[in-house]
Structure 1
Amino acid sequence: MKVVLAPMEGLVDDVMRDILTRLGGVDLCVSEFIRVTSTLLPVKMFRRMVPELEQGAQTHAGTPVRVQLLGSDPACMADNAARAAELGAPAIDLNFGCPAPTVNRHRGGAVLLDEPELIHAIVAAVRAAVPRRIPVTAKMRLGYSDKSPAFDCARAIEAAGAAELTVHARTKVEGYRPPAHWDWLARIRETVSLPLTANGEVWSLADYHGIRDVSGCDTVMIGRGLVAMPDLGRQIRAANLGEPVAPMSWAELMPWVVDFYRQCYAKAPDNKYPVARLKQWLGLMKRTYAEAEQTFAMIKTETDAARLGERLQLLAA
């Protein structure tokens, strides 16, 4: 009954992974995708995207971080997977689910779901390139616009040697619009024998139980839901253990928000990155906390990173 933190480009970076895993209840993380085109990427690229590789491929809480690759060239994907393995990746995850138009135009992510033979070739090449002790896993959606290829894609991933499969229960065209089709996860789980992780539209403890009940999956991957409700993983773990746990209050969460901003500011004090990341997180937390909307309103016009940090400290005091 694991909870996996989803790889979401521009949202779940190493700072967010650090905060959410220290809050508790997350068993595994998958990195933002590393885009592979036609070259062997330099070591610095892997370490920039997954700085946890410098600390045993774990967050500060000790949560493992898998390295995710995205691309369409089997040989180049294999070469880069081998490099990631050499750098200490505990597993290689392959992205066949990203719905971003720019990524899809360059033959990456969900656009490949119309080509199960190519998906098989990519997974097989990566599996052959990394040591057997390192699992190769994959993430996919139900399809690009049509759900019917989902079964062929899942079977192709399994036949190529993947150890696990995560399925986001929507097509690329559906994007992130509700509902997620959890019943399709159950149908795919009956089609393949490799372990299946359920993903899509989990925002609460009730959603977590719902996706498990409908899909039959024990492992659930959560992205925006964990960002919007940062203690959701802790709530899930307590529920699975039969232990009571009170949701975090905004006052309890604010020190974590300050720490998040501090880490973002340390990475890039002289540009817009820390300001934009804080506003992005508060924007998602509005779904759970009325206070997040109030905090956002207080700082939304601030563009100076240093002043924003000072204001945030005062709000948390």
Structure 2
Amino acid sequence: MQLHLAPMEGVVNARMRALLTAVGGIDRCVTEFVRVSDQLLPPRVFHRLCPELNNNGLTPSGIPVYVQLLGGDPGPMAENAARAASLGAPGIDTNFGCPAKCVNRHRGGSVLLDEPELLHQIISAMRAAVPKAIPVTAKIRLGFKDSSRLTEIVSAISEAGANGITIHARTKEDGYKPPAHWHQLAQVHKITNIPIVANGEVWSPTDFTECQTQSHCEDVMLGRGLLARPDLALEIKSASEGLHYKRNTWPTTLHLVEALFEDSILNCAPRHVGGPIKQWLGYLRREYQEAQLLFERIKRLNTAADITAALDEHRHYLAIAA
């Protein structure tokens, strides 16, 4: 059983991958998508979105990071897949699931799910361009407007030589609205032998077990659930081994939030320094009441000094409350 970290655009960047994989339990990461149009991209584009290429394609804690490409033209997709592989990517993923209208308008993401033959051409071209030792995978949804072509989509990608498929158990029309239809993934195991990874609405070990049961998938990709509970992967693995796991307390999680903020001070423009911490607290407040309190305290603050002072006050509050 493997747990993958979802490639959430604008959220799960290199610094977030480093923080979450350091907590433990994650077996694979995928980058935010590299947008491919009609040309071969320079190496700096890949290094910007996947700085782990400077570390053999691994996070600081040693977890492999696949480079994800998004595009609708087999030729450029293959060329850029080859380039990513030459730069040291341990795997190449393909984004056929993004529901964003701006992406779909330019023939990228989930709009391609209505063209299984094109999916086959893209994966086939990428597979031919990338050394056999480097996996080529795809991330899809159940379909575009509905799930009626799911088996056709999976067959097209599988027969093109993909090494695995992650399925977000919703259609493009569903967006991110619950529920995730895990049961619909069960049918695809009858038409392919490649690994199928389930994705969507796994917020707890109970959700994970139910997802496995309904989807018949061993492996699961975690997204928002892991952002809300940074130790969720550890708890899931402990539960699967019959071990007792004590959830991280808020002070432990707060250390991660502070580490993200320290990184933001070093690497973000001053006017954006508070963005990452506010964004993450938006997820954490689902699980931690204290995260909601901290979010309310800093949501209108913009300078590093003001946010630092608010974090100090929050730490003082926790000490008194304890």
TM-score range, shorter chain: over 0.9
Alignment partner of 1:50 is 2:50:
yes
Kept in 2, the 8 Å contact 1:269–1:305? The answer is no
After TM superposition, list the pairs within 5 Å mapping 1:47-196 onto structure 2.
Answer: 47-196=47-196
Aligned partners of 1:108 and 1:145: how far apart in 2? Answer: 15
Alignment partner of 1:286 is 2:285:
yes
* Matched residue type, 1:51: P
* Structure 2: tracts of 5 or more residues without a match: 317-322
Aligned partners of 1:217 and 1:280: how far apart in 2? Answer: 31
Kept in 2, the 8 Å contact 1:203–1:224? The answer is yes
**1:311: which partner in 2?**
310
* CA deviation map 1:81-116 (0-9, x unaligned): 010001000110011001111111111000000000
Return the offset for 1:312: 2.1
Return the offset for 1:152: 0.7
* Matched residue type, 2:259: D
Return the offset for 1:241: 2.0
Aligned to 1:238, the other structure's residue is in SS state helix
**1:18: which partner in 2?**
18
**1:4: which partner in 2?**
4
Return the offset for 1:313: 4.2
Kept in 2, the 8 Å contact 1:74–1:122? The answer is yes
Aligned partners of 1:222 and 1:122: how far apart in 2? Answer: 26
Aligned partners of 2:98 and 2:305: how far apart in 1? Answer: 34
4+ runs deviating over 6 angstroms? none
Kept in 2, the 8 Å contact 1:269–1:306? The answer is no
* Matched residue type, 1:146: D
Return the offset for 1:314: 4.4
Aligned partners of 2:103 and 2:47: how far apart in 1? Answer: 22
Kept in 2, the 8 Å contact 1:2–1:218? The answer is yes
Kept in 2, the 8 Å contact 1:97–1:139? The answer is yes
Task: Tell me the number of residue pairs that the alignment of Structure 1 and Structure 2 aligns.
Answer: 316
Alignment partner of 1:259 is 2:259:
yes
Aligned to 2:270, the other structure's residue is in SS state coil
* Structure 1: tracts of 5 or more residues without a match: none
* CA deviation map 1:36-92 (0-9, x unaligned): 011111111100000111111111111110110000010000010010001000110
Return the offset for 1:276: 1.4
* Matched residue type, 2:277: L
* Matched residue type, 1:153: I
Alignment partner of 1:221 is 2:221:
yes
**2:319: which partner in 1?**
none
Change (3 A) 1:234 1:173: same
Kept in 2, the 8 Å contact 1:91–1:136? The answer is yes
Aligned partners of 1:314 and 1:126: how far apart in 2? Answer: 52
Aligned to 1:98, the other structure's residue is in SS state coil
Kept in 2, the 8 Å contact 1:124–1:161? The answer is yes
Aligned partners of 2:88 and 2:230: how far apart in 1? Answer: 28
Q: What do you get for the CA RMSD once the two structures are aligned?
A: 1.1
Aligned partners of 1:218 and 1:21: how far apart in 2? Answer: 20
* CA deviation map 1:248-300 (0-9, x unaligned): 1111111111001111221114231x311111110111111111100001111
* Matched residue type, 2:17: R
Compute the TM-score of the two structures, normalised by the length of structure 1.
0.97
* Matched residue type, 1:49: L
Aligned partners of 1:121 and 1:260: how far apart in 2? Answer: 40
Aligned to 1:66, the other structure's residue is in SS state strand
- Alignment identity in percent? 49
* Matched residue type, 2:132: R
